[in-house]
Chain A
Amino acid sequence: MLGRTAASLFWMSRYHERAQNVTRLLEVAYRGAIMSHNGQEHGTHLTFALTNSGLESDYRQKYEELNIRNVSMFMIFAKDNPLSVRNSLELARNNARAVRTSITAELWEAMNTTWIEFTEVNPQSVTQEKLPDFLAWINQRAHLFRGALLNTVLRNDGYFFSQMGNFVERADNTARILNTQYWSLLPDNDIIDDGSTERYQWSAILRALSGRRSYRFAYPHARLKAFNIAEFLILRQEMPRSLAHCFDWIADTAEDLAQYYGSREPSLDLAIEIHRELSGKQMRDIYQEGLHDFLTIFIGKNNQFAQQLSEDYNFA
């Protein structure tokens, strides 16, 4: 396989995952904003989406007013926002087009149809009332992409690289959201009352990571607690967006690549190292070490892994 093909498959998946993550953040912000009844609270919800995606300062430069309309235009349609859903979908599709020969017709049609239908939408027509349906549609399309990938692609090197892109982005997204909100996840907060800002943050974090319902199953007898939420999203392997789950998948895939090519590369060792750190840890250790420091180091290592992977397999 060409190194460029491997890179394109990696980025195709990575951008798709990104589009979905940004969409989910916006869903959470929208939900919070329409439920709030004063301006300040309203703003807090919208800021949640912007800070978690690292876009707050870019937004402030472009818009004076903080409102649902501006935030959704910026996060969905803006061409000058490199993380907008539009740009991610376009980059995902361009990467797929560049490797048309390495993906299945089903996968291509899923992505291409998303892009065609997305570009046919006039941004002005996505009013506040229509926003939830539109976001749900993007989410559904992203699921369709992933389903087509899992169901139709041969389990060879191309598949492995596409999985890497998916889970590197997901781990990065989860870690960033946790790190941006780390103050609300400190165990001291577990004594605070219902209706506080922290409580809202907790459910927003879980929603943004599709974990609100599954939390109830993972912790059937517990109320929402900072300790549990942090553990759920960092260490619990069964949670598909947790850091442990992502690196479980990444380490297995790195192993698959080594087997496929019959040679062991430094990226495999790095994946195993990160995976081992996550699986050997308890939540108390992480709090002791400092949640913020732990997450910051993790984000750095995840990046380092992606970098090593691209060197090992000639992505450039």
Chain B
Amino acid sequence: MPDDRNFFNEMLDENGGPRPPYARLAQWLEDKPANFLTKKSRDAEMIFRRLGITFAVYGAEEATERLIPFDPIPRIISAAEWRRLSIGIDQRVRALNAFLHDIYHRQEILRAGVIPEALILQNEAFLPEMVGFTPARKVYAHIIGTDLVRVGEDEFYVLEDNTRTPSGVSYMLENRETMMRLFPELFQTNRVATVEQYPELLRRTLESVAPDGGKSDQTVAVLTPGIYNSAYFEHAFLADSMGVDLVEGRDLFVDAGKVYMRTTREPKQVDVIYRRIDDAFLDPLTFNPDSMLGVPGLFDAYRAGNVTICNAPGTGIADDKAIYAYVPDIIEFYTGQKPLLNNVPTWNCSRKEDLAYVLDNLDDIVVKEVHGSGGYGMLIGPTASKREIAEFRKVLQHNPSNYIAQPTLALSACPTHVASGVAPRHVDLRPFVLIGDQVRITPGGLTRVALKKGSLVVNSSQGGGTKDTWVLED
């Protein structure tokens, strides 16, 4: 393996020997014949296709269901590394929920001048409709996907806090199932922490935030936009593995402030909705009047305390890219402690001096749209052409407050199966966190991998793949 020391190699140390968590895997890889992984990759693809683990691609008429490439070599995290990460994640998600409760109530953090008022109150992601309302257990973001990157032995950064409707957890679970089918022997030689408990924990989390916590028989439903949504497979998968109904907006109605499902018999009241549709589409009476996906009257039923919506409407303010830079301050403000996980230093292009710095250093940094996602509308300076940079400069100057910028991080790399054999490719990590009666973090998460050599973009929409993520037990 060529040893490029510009990034942290998770499998190999400086001398080319395996780091301890990878010791057994490295040996195993070495023992296998050359075409072994190629064959196993084909088997994996067959499994995924038959199970229908696909995501929809908008716009393409044929083959609208595609597979996310799956890399058969696992990414491994040691027990000690995971302990450190999970304590940091726990601190962060608690602070973000405290922040959400505060800005929809007394707004102490604005009064204290920690965050500029305009950044919240004029933010599209801030929902005035939520002001004064307190959801069960004061939890707003029940499911969070914290995007992490690693740049060194002990250096992790939080790239993004996905507090709206983070997706990808079905890949975490199905990747593991597939790995266990493909390589049972690896699970005998490595003590890998299980992830299969996630659906059960998700259900417990959702039930724990029902409006009437004392009821023994809570009705939970997963609300999906329908079979043409890109993440439909995941919606069906989660409903199925939790044993709850998968509903579309048209299956629900509101009567006298309560939400019901239309069943083959009498209507059934719903206590908790795990929604996988955006705020704007939840309720045409309160938000986007053209929404065909939502349920008229749902928001009123919610405010009346008759149903819990997970995640709560308005949680987007906590993962807004303009707020991101303030998360370390948010953590200190609500917990009184220093943040355990680092933020990536961020320049806010709406600030004059930040903009000037960004414009001077476009070759070296990454610029992102404040409301963008999926790897669209961003500039990665070091890999962009002169022309791309010139064009981006114009766009940026035209509307600077729409952008933030960050230094280009040297993402760590993991061994990955490629055409020429096994080579390091850059990865990130999205652990999934559940917040209800307690905070539950499933060991591992979704590892996304940039399959192109040297690429730092791991999004599936930009040619990224996924890997099974192992947290080893002591």
- Cβ of B227 under 8 Å from chain A: yes
- Cβ of B245 under 8 Å from chain A: yes
A314 touching B240, Cβ below 8 Å: no
- Cβ of A101 under 8 Å from chain B: yes
- Cβ of B262 under 8 Å from chain A: yes
State which residues 215-274 of B face A: CB under 8 Å.
226-227, 232, 236-237, 239-240, 245-248, 250-251, 261-265
A101→B221 CA distance, assembly (Å): 12
Contact with B along A109-143 (1 / 0, CB 8 A): 10011001000000000000000000000000000
Which B residues touch A3, using CB under 8 A? 251, 262-264
- Cβ of A97 under 8 Å from chain B: yes
Which A residues touch B248, using CB under 8 A? 4
**In the A-B complex, the 9 residue pairs with the closest CB atoms:** A100-B236, A101-B240, A313-B264, A101-B239, A6-B264, A3-B262, A101-B246, A97-B227, A112-B52
A100 touching B264, Cβ below 8 Å: no
> Shortest distance in angstroms between A193's beta carbon and chain B's nearest beta carbon?
53
B236 touching A4, Cβ below 8 Å: no
Q: Quick one: closest B residue to A97, CB to CB?
A: B227
Q: Report if A112-B264 is in contact (Cβ < 8 Å); known contacts: A97-B236, A101-B245, A101-B246.
A: no
- Cβ of A34 under 8 Å from chain B: no
- Cβ of A190 under 8 Å from chain B: no
Main SS class of interface, A: helix
Q: Can you offer 16 A-B residue contacts whose CB atoms are under 8 A?
A: A1-B263, A1-B264, A2-B245, A2-B262, A3-B251, A3-B264, A97-B227, A100-B237, A101-B236, A101-B240, A101-B245, A101-B246, A108-B52, A109-B51, A157-B264, A263-B265
A3→B265 CA distance, assembly (Å): 8
> Shortest distance in angstroms between A285's beta carbon and chain B's nearest beta carbon?
37
Q: Quick one: closest B residue to A111, CB to CB?
A: B52
A105→B250 CA distance, assembly (Å): 26
Which B residues touch A217, using CB under 8 A? none
Main SS class of interface, B: mixed
- Cβ of B398 under 8 Å from chain A: no
Which A residues touch B237, using CB under 8 A? 100
Q: Quick one: closest B residue to A160, CB to CB?
A: B264
- Cβ of B49 under 8 Å from chain A: yes
A219→B79 CA distance, assembly (Å): 74
Q: Report if A314-B239 is in contact (Cβ < 8 Å); known contacts: A2-B245, A109-B51.
A: no
Q: Quick one: closest B residue to A161, CB to CB?
A: B264
> Shortest distance in angstroms between B247's beta carbon and chain A's nearest beta carbon?
7
B240 touching A2, Cβ below 8 Å: no
> Shortest distance in angstroms between A6's beta carbon and chain B's nearest beta carbon?
5
Which A residues touch B227, using CB under 8 A? 94, 97-98
> Shortest distance in angstroms between B269's beta carbon and chain A's nearest beta carbon?
14
> Shortest distance in angstroms between A115's beta carbon and chain B's nearest beta carbon?
9
Partner of A261, one of B50, B247, B264: B264
> Shortest distance in angstroms between A16's beta carbon and chain B's nearest beta carbon?
17
B264 touching A2, Cβ below 8 Å: yes
State which residues 64-110 of A face B: CB under 8 Å.
94, 97-101, 105, 108-109
Which A residues touch B261, using CB under 8 A? 2
Which A residues touch B245, using CB under 8 A? 2, 5, 101
Which A residues touch B226, using CB under 8 A? 98
A314 touching B51, Cβ below 8 Å: no
B50 touching A116, Cβ below 8 Å: yes
State which residues 18-58 of B face A: CB under 8 Å.
49-52
> Which of B232, B240, B247 has the largest count of A CB atoms less than 10 A from its CB?
B240
> Which of B226, B227, B261 has the largest count of A CB atoms less than 10 A from its CB?
B227
Partner of B49, one of A99, A116, A157: A116
Q: Quick one: closest A residue to B242, CB to CB?
A: A101
A97→B227 CA distance, assembly (Å): 7
> Shortest distance in angstroms between A29's beta carbon and chain B's nearest beta carbon?
29
Q: Report if A314-B262 is in contact (Cβ < 8 Å); known contacts: A97-B52, A101-B239, A112-B52.
A: yes
